């Protein structure tokens, strides 16, 4: 395993490189399902094809999201929604047998899992994959989601990070409980507000010691949480200036948390629309957008906020003049917009659309299509752009959501990666066999509590 200096650097040092991850969304409108070349979003072969293409392109990681409850729209699952996804860890365990180097990242929430069970399953994935597992930590406090689980809804919004942090610390203690690769395991106990854990872990350390931790929160609490606990933050700031700002902010928070300036890596969510020339890329982008947000999806998007059927409105016309019926307290289930001040929002949007001369469809496209997260252009121009990110260390990599399954990475791997390699800003081989090595992360220090427990017994 690569050993890094354990001295905590106060100054951020750019690595001069970027890496790629791929986020197989499988759901939501970002993935085009209407094209002739759109494949299944649930068949194993689609996952195999994407992960093996990513590995051919030396991607660091393959991400999967998590589903806890099907999104609902106006009180029922929605015909226009792209839904249906496998359990992340089950799929990743299968993909471990058809890959050798790529990291396997499971998004898992801390609210509807038990720490001992989740830590055991993640440790299993880590062992099965030879030290390539990671956990993308998410929280939810959504009681509506809780209707699928034994506990039901139980967590206050204000408590979610406190709960998540205790959960993550408990998981780390479980992973740290083995003195050596052979054992023996030490008992781990935790008494928290929401759960108690008393477990003697069954699994030893993996080749990368324990799973790598990703975290995606963007609020101040979320960033502090990442600065204290995570190895990589899956950020929402891919634009250059915003990325540089975010880096500064995260470095400050990492130092404040007593970690080094380089301790937490940054991989923003992104989308790439590439072609041999800028003109072809622009044309491709138009095609992609038209398939991502069709007329029905545009109206449905507004319906989430209006709380009304809007099917009589012309998607190529202006935003609806009628006011929303959604009250401040109601939720669009599973879409993360609960508590939106619907009327105020509608006024604001109508003004914005009028101001910019946008139709419903154009407006919704502008709101949903990850405008900020999209790199569009020729292979060489985008490679130049990314090389600048690498030079200043704006990010450590990009987590790419392909807009086509299963061929959506082909352009990137076949054309962008070689351009980046020529510029010396992208790996030319996997440097190690574990995800931690390939990301260049330090070997974790055993948590103080676990170390003490080991000494004491």
Interface with other proteins in residues 198-237 (CB under 8 A): 198-200, 202-204, 206-207
List the one residue out of 418, 416, 436 whose CA is nearest residue 428. Answer: 418
Distance CA 41, CA 24 (A): 9
For the bound state, the minimum distance from the C-beta of residue 316 to other proteins, rounded and expressed in Å, comes to: 15
Other Cβ atoms within 10 Å of 53 Cβ, number:
20
For the bound state, the minimum distance from the C-beta of residue 347 to other proteins, rounded and expressed in Å, comes to: 28
Residues 414-453 that bind other proteins (CB under 8 A): none
Residues 313-332 that bind other proteins (CB under 8 A): none
- Sole binder of other proteins in the list 57, 67, 320, 408 (CB under 8 A): 67
Tokens of 12: 């951020």
For the bound state, the minimum distance from the C-beta of residue 297 to other proteins, rounded and expressed in Å, comes to: 6
- Sole binder of other proteins in the list 2, 8, 17, 83 (CB under 8 A): 83
Asked if 91 touches other proteins (CB under 8 A), the answer is: yes
Nearer to other proteins, 203 or 281 (CB): 203
For the bound state, the minimum distance from the C-beta of residue 232 to other proteins, rounded and expressed in Å, comes to: 23
C-alpha gyration radius of the chain: 22
For the bound state, the minimum distance from the C-beta of residue 128 to other proteins, rounded and expressed in Å, comes to: 5
Note the residue count of the chain. 457
Nearer to other proteins, 338 or 350 (CB): 338
Give 181: exposed, middle or buried? Use CB within 10 Å, 0-12, 13-18, 19+: exposed
- Each residue 112-151 as x (binds other proteins by CB under 8 A) or -, in order, gives xxx-xx--xx-xxx-xxxxx---------------xxxxx
Q: CA separation (Å) from 180 to 183, 209, 451? A: 5, 10, 12
Nearer to other proteins, 48 or 284 (CB): 48
Peptide bond into 75 cis (omega under 30): no
Nearer to other proteins, 295 or 418 (CB): 295
For the bound state, the minimum distance from the C-beta of residue 293 to other proteins, rounded and expressed in Å, comes to: 10
Residues 22-61 that bind other proteins (CB under 8 A): 33-34, 42-44, 48
List the one residue out of 151, 138, 99, 327 whose CA is nearest residue 218. Answer: 138
Residues 276-315 that bind other proteins (CB under 8 A): 294-297
Buried b (16+ CB within 10 A) or exposed e, 110-123: bbbbbbbebbbbbb
What is the residue-wise DSSP string for 273-320? EEESSHHHHHHHHHHHHHHHS-HHHHHHHHHHHH-S--TTS-TTSPPP
List the one residue out of 137, 138, 44 whose CA is nearest residue 96. Answer: 44
For the bound state, the minimum distance from the C-beta of residue 147 to other proteins, rounded and expressed in Å, comes to: 4
For the bound state, the minimum distance from the C-beta of residue 81 to other proteins, rounded and expressed in Å, comes to: 6
Size of the site for other proteins (CB under 8 A): 71
- Sole binder of other proteins in the list 18, 53, 54, 81 (CB under 8 A): 81
- Sole binder of other proteins in the list 68, 105, 358, 382 (CB under 8 A): 68
Nearer to other proteins, 120 or 247 (CB): 120
Nearer to other proteins, 38 or 235 (CB): 38
Nearer to other proteins, 194 or 367 (CB): 194
Residues 155-184 that bind other proteins (CB under 8 A): 181, 183
Distance CA 175, CA 303 (A): 45
**Which span (82-90, 337-345, 359-367, 387-395) binds other proteins, by CB under 8 A?**
82-90
Nearer to other proteins, 144 or 240 (CB): 144
Distance CA 217, CA 246 (A): 13
Contact between 130 and 95 (Cβ < 8 Å) = no
Q: CA separation (Å) from 241 to 257, 381, 388, 389, 394? A: 24, 18, 11, 10, 8
Other Cβ atoms within 10 Å of 185 Cβ, number:
16
Tokens of 330: 């109601």
- 136 - beta bridge partners? 107, 214
């Amino acid at each position: 395993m690569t050993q890094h200096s354990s001295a905590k650097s106060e100054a951020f040092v750019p690595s001069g490189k970027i890496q790629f991850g791929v986020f197989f969304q499988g759901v939501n409108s970002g993935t085009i399902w209407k094209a002739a070349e759109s494949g299944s979003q649930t068949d194993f072969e689609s996952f195999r094809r994407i992960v093996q293409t990513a590995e051919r392109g030396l991607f660091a990681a393959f991400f999967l999201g998590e589903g806890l409850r099907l999104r609902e729209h106006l009180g029922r699952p929605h015909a226009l929604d792209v839904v249906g996804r496998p359990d992340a860890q089950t799929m990743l365990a299968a993909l471990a047998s058809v890959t050798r180097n790529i990291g396997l990242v499971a998004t898992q929430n801390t609210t509807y899992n038990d720490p001992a069970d989740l830590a055991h399953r993640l440790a299993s994935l880590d062992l099965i994959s030879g030290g390539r597992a990671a956990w993308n930590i998410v929280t939810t406090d959504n009681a509506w989601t809780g209707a699928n689980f034994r506990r039901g809804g139980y967590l206050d919004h204000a408590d979610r990070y406190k709960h998540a942090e205790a959960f993550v610390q408990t998981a780390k203690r479980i992973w740290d409980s083995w003195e050596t690769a052979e054992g023996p395991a030490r008992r781990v106990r935790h008494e928290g507000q929401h759960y108690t854990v008393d477990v003697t872990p069954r699994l030893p350390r993996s080749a990368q010691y324990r799973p790598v931790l990703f975290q995606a929160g963007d609020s101040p609490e979320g960033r502090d949480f990442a600065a204290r606990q995570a190895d990589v933050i899956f950020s929402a700031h891919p634009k250059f200036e915003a990325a540089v700002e975010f880096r500064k902010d995260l470095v400050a928070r990492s130092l404040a948390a007593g970690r080094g300036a380089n301790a937490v890596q940054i991989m923003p969510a992104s989308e790439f629309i590439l072609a041999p020339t800028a003109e072809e890329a622009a044309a491709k982008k138009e095609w992609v957008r038209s398939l991502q947000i069709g007329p029905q999806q545009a109206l449905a998007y507004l319906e989430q906020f209006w709380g009304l059927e809007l099917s009589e409105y012309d998607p190529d016309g202006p935003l609806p003049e009628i006011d929303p019926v959604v009250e401040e307290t109601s939720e669009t289930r599973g879409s993360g917009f609960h508590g939106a001040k619907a009327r105020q929002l509608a006024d604001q949007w109508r003004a914005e659309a009028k101001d910019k001369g946008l139709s419903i469809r154009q407006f919704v496209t502008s709101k949903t299509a990850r405008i900020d997260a999209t790199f569009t252009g020729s292979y060489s121009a985008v490679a130049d752009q990314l090389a600048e990110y690498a030079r200043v260390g704006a990010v450590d990599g990009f987590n790419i959501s392909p807009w086509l399954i299963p061929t959506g990475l082909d352009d990137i791997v076949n054309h962008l990666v070689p351009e980046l390699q020529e510029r010396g800003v992208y790996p030319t081989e996997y440097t190690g066999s574990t995800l931690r090595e390939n990301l260049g992360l330090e070997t974790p220090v055993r948590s103080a509590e676990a170390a003490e427990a080991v000494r004491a017994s």
